[in-house]
Amino acid sequence: MNNLWAPWRTEYITSPKESVCVFCNAPKNKDPLILREGETCFAIMNRFPYNTGHCMIAPYRHVGDLTDINPQESLELMSLIQTIMKALRQALTPQGFNVGCNIGAVAGAGIADHLHIHIVPRWNGDTNFMPVISDAHIISEHIEKTRDKILRNLP
């Protein structure tokens, strides 16, 4: 029998959920998973990723809907998506990406009141039976090692 080890997931599952916004706190606390800070938005790795290299782009401003961001935030969100995708391509050579956001809790947003856009690198065959039968995702590389690869490939 193979053993799967993903210790960072236990921290998320067992920890009490913060009443403060993780997207508001990350820049203030200089979170080491932040990849890029812009004027209105920032890029950060997902601490509890769905796949290796899972990143997110969020505005600094606490806003929950795409229709509530201003033109400068909109432009910088898209620019950061492009920058992170280029770095992920160079660092991890994915064969594709899922890019998008969940607006509202019923749409799957875990943090519904602070808009964030997911960038999930994908590889042929990267999904398997584990999420279906055991509600487990397999992350193949430690998040800090992946972060370092991405940072080396940012312009």
**Would you please indicate which residues are annotated as catalytic (active-site) residues?**
116
Q: Which of 81, 76, 82, 45 is nearest to 59 (CA)?
A: 76
How many Cα atoms sit within 13 Å of 87 on the Cβ side? 25
Cα gap 1→5, rounded to integer Å = 13
Q: Which of 97, 113, 84, 124 is nearest to 23 (CA)?
A: 113
